[in-house]
């Protein structure tokens, strides 16, 4: 029903939630770029551009975004393990990663914002994103839960 407190690592911040569904069902939503606006808890993801194919390693997908002003971004899937892990990045090279772990009662989903691979990691820190993102990440996991189960997960 709720997410864990954010966990801070070396240029990473993660939020986890247990969702009462098998990993394959959750992964099906995460690997469908047309569903990203539906689960986005930040309000920045507007819609996918074009007709998305199911995501896999190396897939590129475009998104219409809005952070103060509208813009477009192209992402590339850089980590991929079906039913277990998916991560993408854009030109800035920081990553959004989702890890799925089967646990009693469902699947533990961990969303990680990883700026260790960013072109200019210090700019991300100066902008305050490591502190600003966790509430939106928690909201994303809550929305993911609602899409997959109708909100019937446990912590």
In a domain, 17, yes or no: yes
In a domain, 83, yes or no: yes
Residue 68's Cα: distance from chain center in Å?
20
> Is 153 a residue whose pLDDT tops 60?
no
**What is the average pLDDT across 48-72?**
87
**Owner of token pair 């997410």:** 3
In a domain, 57, yes or no: yes
CATH code for the domain in which residue 142 is found: 3.30.530.20
Let me know: does 66 contact 49? Beta carbons within 8 Å. no
Tell me, what's the pLDDT at 152? 55
Ranges assigned E (strand) in the chain: 7-9, 12-19, 45-49, 60-67, 69-81, 85-89, 95-103, 106-114
Give how many domains the chain has, as a whole number.
Answer: 1
- Distance, in Å, from the CA atom of 89 to the CA atom of 69, rounded to the nearest integer, reads 20
Range of the domain at 23: 7-149
Tell me, what's the pLDDT at 103? 96
**Model pTM greater than 0.85?**
yes
- Distance, in Å, from the CA atom of 153 to the CA atom of 151, rounded to the nearest integer, reads 6
């Amino acid at each position: 029903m709720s997410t864990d407190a954010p966990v801070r690592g070396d240029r990473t911040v993660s939020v986890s939630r247990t969702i009462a569904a098998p990993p394959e069902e959750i992964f099906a939503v995460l690997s469908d770029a047309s569903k990203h606006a539906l689960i986005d808890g930040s309000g920045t993801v507007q819609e996918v551009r074009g007709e998305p194919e199911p995501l896999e390693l190396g897939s590129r997908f475009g998104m219409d975004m809005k952070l103060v002003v509208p813009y477009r971004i192209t992402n590339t899937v850089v980590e991929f393990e079906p039913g277990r892990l998916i991560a993408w990045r854009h030109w800035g090279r920081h990553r959004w990663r989702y890890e799925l772990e089967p646990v009693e009662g469902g699947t533990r989903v961990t969303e990680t914002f990883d700026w260790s691979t960013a072109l200019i990691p210090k700019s991300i820190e100066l902008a305050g994103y490591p502190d600003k993102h966790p509430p939106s990440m928690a909201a994303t996991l809550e929305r993911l839960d609602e899409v997959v189960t109708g909100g019937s997960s446990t912590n």
